[in-house]
A and B are shown apart, each in its own frame.
Chain A
Amino acid sequence: MTPSPEIAVRTVDLHKTYSGPRGGVQAVRGIDLEVRHGEFFGLLGPNGAGKSTTIGMLTTLVVPTAGEASVCGYDVVKRSVDVKRRIGMVSQNNTLDSDLTAFENLEFRGRFFGLGARDARRRADELLEMFGLTERRGGNPFELSGGQAKRLMICRALVHRPEVLFLDEPTAGLDPQTRVNLWEVLRGLQAEGQTILLTTHYMEEAEALCDRVAVVDHGRVLASDTVDGLKGSTGADTVITVSYDGDVPDGVRALDRRDGISKVELGEGQVRVFATAPDGLLGELVTAAASAGVTVTDASQLRPSLETAFLTLTGREYRE
């Protein structure tokens, strides 16, 4: 793997199998990624997809079982210290140092990364100010609200001005208002040129923030593109799902030959139609049931989104 200056993060066929008492867990099974400097990149996938494991390998704390990964051109295993110097990491749980105050958390992080005592204190105050945490300066980090703690962790990850900022599910468990506030923070960072790699299981978070998204599930990348590109590449724009309390009416089965419909999936008492021209289709599916003498038990229409993209890619509904 040759380092190239414009690539911030690169993985090639990255694998991780956790060994356990009940055999190995294949958490990551061949992931290839390339994130450029200045990019806001998202790893989107349901719980257990392997996002944290991937980010763990990129931040040197999880050792890959096969494949390669590098950050800023440095191999995450062979040059882990060089990697650590250049990254900031905000993990999902609160890993703030409970023996220190909010301020000291930042102060010592700065010193760990080579700042002198005075510079570290100045930088700590600067960040507290910037993130609206000055009032909490002397408090214990475990007395902060969820959103404040997350902001403090972001501050801590930024103390040494990392080249790449990693965030593992930064808004999981936060209330909607706090989440939107945090999105603003992250957008602000990106506007200043910060390279960011974030994982999330919220589709709308990936849509709201990321330049490019890799959709992962079961340890593999299913697709990787811009948000618009992913929506376009799915082939179908709108997904309509209708469930019946009996057999799927015959009229419905013939739909896939019609223009504007790319695919019809038939299941046990259920039909799923992928359509580029969805107007009136839902009504038609319901009427077809009435004339065939079956009842509609459930009907839904998903507008084009990452969710329909996921559905098309995996054939499964997205479970958050």
Chain B
Amino acid sequence: MTTISPAAGTSAAGRPPAPHVPRPTLARTFLAMMARELRVLRKNFVSTFVRVLMQPLMFVFVFAYVLPKIGGGAMAAGGGSGATFATVLVPGLVGSSIVMQGVMAVVFPLMMELNWQRSITDRALAPLPVPLLAVQKIAAAGLQALIGGLLVFPAVLFIHADGQAPSVHVDNWPVLVLVLVLGSLMASAGGLLLGTLIDPQKVQVLFALVLMPMSMLGCVYYPWAALDHVRWLQIVTLLNPMVYVNEGLRAALTPQMDHMSFWAYMGVLVVSTALLTWSATRTFTKRVLT
């Protein structure tokens, strides 16, 4: 046990004359918080992204490499336009990674911050309005989602059996960037909303009841248009926000395949990102301020 004598001479810890109080701008504080997220991301990079990559990696390996090799011909008929299954999977797996990553990047830390020791008070005491703190959380988790999605790209592009290469060509870069960014933000805003509404004992339920069906029925493994054989499901899936990310990516990456119209996916992405951000900001503020 060390003994301490902060009184020793200096006035470093003491009350300074009022004018010496730093006057941080909101932007500076916001950026400093993003810098903290990047520092943490850098430290945990390997563990975080091994987790992100494993599922899509295994998936393309089995469905774009193993199954075609052993003659799983039925799997290769996605899209109805003679496209390989790998072509269907590229946008789907990138999109679902973005959404899953966006939700998890915000929900897991939030469960700790809001409950165990309530360490959120630390961030809430920074000179930033609490709603802006919510926006910062969405931005930070959105960034992780985007990185997660981008990391999946090489895996799904390059792992496939001979003759099963996906055919990807980007016609419209702005659309691609917009879908990636909006999809990331929508997912993290949705994650923040869920994370502030759900109580920590029910996180497992969140995964079982929300994320699992959302990704299985998110038009990841088939384009939405192909669902017209199961009309009711085609309509029900319109409630799933992940569908619009995947369809948007289909339009941007594999335009030769059936995909939703620009106004459909872009409209929903913009509106739901805005709505989710707005409501998550409110629920977050309610949880932080008592």
Given A95-B119, A95-B121, A189-B13, check contact A184 B3 (CB 8 Å): yes
Establish whether residues A192 and B15, one from each chain, have CB atoms under 8 Å apart when the complex forms.
yes
Q: A100-B39, A108-B32, A108-B36 are in contact. Are A114 and B22 (CB under 8 A)?
A: yes
With known contacts A96-B122, A98-B119, A161-B20, A114–B29 Cβ distance under 8 A: yes
A94: nearest residue on chain B (CB-CB)? Answer: B117
> Which of A145, A147, A188 is the one whose CB lies under 8 Å from B5?
A188
Stretch from A56-64, A233-241, A260-268, A283-291 forming part of the interface with B: A56-64
Pair A61/B117 contact, Cβ less than 8 Å: no
Once bound together, how far apart are the Cα atoms of A181 and B6, in whole Å?
11
B203 interface residue (CB < 8 Å to A): no
Task: Tell me, yes or no, whether A277 is within 8 Å of chain B by CB.
Answer: no
Q: How far apart sit A72 and B18, CA to CA, in the bound complex (Å)?
A: 10
Query: Cα distance A127–B24 when bound, in Å?
Result: 20
**Is the beta-carbon distance between B290 and A194 smaller than 8 angstroms?**
no
CB distance from A15 to the nearest CB of B (A): 14
Binary CB contact string for chain A from 72 to 114 against chain B (1 if under 8 A, 0 otherwise): 1000000011001111010101111111100010001101111
Question: Does A244 make an interface contact (CB < 8 A)?
Answer: no
User: A111 to B290, Cβ gap below 8 A?
Assistant: no
In the complex, the answer to whether A184 meets B128 with C-beta atoms within 8 Å is: no
Q: Is the CB of A114 within 8 A of B28?
A: yes
Give the complex CA separation of A178 and B156 in angstroms: 57
Q: Are A112 and B24 in contact (CB under 8 A)?
A: yes
- A94 vs B24: C-alpha distance when bound (angstroms): 25
One of B3, B7, B35, B43 near A99 (C-beta < 8 A)? B43
The answer to whether A185 and B6 have CB atoms under 8 Å apart is yes
A95 pairs with B290, CB closer than 8 A: no
Nearest CB of B to A28, in Å = 12
**Do residues B121 and A61 form an inter-chain contact, with CB atoms below 8 A?**
yes
Q: Which of B1-54 contact A (CB under 8 A)?
A: 1-8, 10-16, 18, 20-26, 28-29, 32-33, 35-36, 39-40, 43-44
Question: How many whole Å from A40's CB to the nearest CB in chain B?
Answer: 12
Q: Does B69 contact A (CB under 8 A)?
A: no
Please, which residues of chain B bring their CB within 8 A of the CB of A161?
A: 14-16, 20-22
The answer for the CA separation of A150 and B110 in the assembled complex, in Å, is 23
Q: Is the CB of A108 within 8 A of B35?
A: yes
Interface residue ranges of A106-146 to B (CB < 8 Å): 108-109, 111-115, 126-127, 130-132, 145
Question: Of all chain A residues, which has the CB nearest B3?
Answer: A181
The answer on a CB contact under 8 Å between B40 and A100 is: yes
Does B125 interact with chain A (Cβ within 8 Å)?
yes
Task: Given A114-B24, A114-B29, A126-B12, verify A61-B122 contact (CB < 8 Å).
Answer: no
Interface size, chain B (Cβ < 8 Å): 48
Q: Which residues of A contact B21 (CB under 8 A)?
A: 85-86, 160-163
- Does A201 belong to the interface (CB within 8 Å)? no
Q: Is A177 an interface residue (CB 8 A)?
A: yes
Contacting residues, chain A, for B39 (C-beta < 8 A): 100, 104, 108
Chain A residue contacts of B7, Cβ below 8 A? 187-189, 191-192
Instruction: Report whether B29 and A97 are in contact in the complex, using a CB–CB cutoff of 8 Å.
Output: no
Q: Which residues of A contact B29 (CB under 8 A)?
A: 112-114
Interface string of B159-183 (1 = CB under 8 A from A): 0000000000000000000000000
| A94 / chain B contacts, CB cutoff of 8 Å | 117
> Which A residues are in CB contact (< 8 Å) with B1?
145, 147, 177-178, 181
User: Given B18, B33, B125, B127, which contacts A89 in the complex, CB threshold below 8 Å?
Assistant: B125
- The interface residues of chain A lying within 8 Å CB-to-CB of B14 are 161, 189, 191-194
Would you list which residues of chain B between 124 and 180 have a CB under 8 Å from chain A?
Answer: 124-129
In the complex, what's the smallest C-beta–C-beta distance from A267 to chain B, in angstroms? 39
Flag whether A158 is at the interface (Cβ < 8 A): yes
- Establish whether residues A91 and B4, one from each chain, have CB atoms under 8 Å apart when the complex forms: no
- By the criterion CB–CB under 8 Å, are A95 and B20 in contact? no
Query: Which residues on A sit within 8 Å (CB–CB) of B11?
Result: 192-193
Nearest residue (CB) in A for B24 is A114
Point out the residues of chain A lying under 8 angstroms from B20, CB to CB. 161
Q: Roughly how many angstroms separate A145 CA and B2 CA in the complex, as a whole number?
A: 12
Q: Is the CB of B290 within 8 A of A113?
A: no
The verdict on A63 contacting B15 (CB below 8 Å), with A95-B117, A95-B119 known, is: no
Please, which residues of chain B bring their CB within 8 A of the CB of A108? 32, 35-36, 39
Residue pair B121, A100 in contact (C-beta under 8 Å): no
* CB–CB A113/B13 < 8 A: no
Known contacts A56-B290, A181-B3: does B22 contact A160 (CB below 8 Å)?
yes
Chain B residues contacting A63 (CB-CB under 8 Å) are 289-290
| Given pairs A91-B121, A108-B39, A126-B12, 11 additional interface contacts (CB within 8 A) | A59-B125, A60-B125, A81-B129, A84-B126, A84-B128, A93-B117, A109-B126, A132-B4, A161-B15, A193-B11, A195-B15
Q: Which 8 pairs between the two chains have the least Cβ-Cβ distance?
A: A114-B24, A192-B14, A188-B7, A111-B32, A132-B2, A114-B22, A112-B126, A188-B6
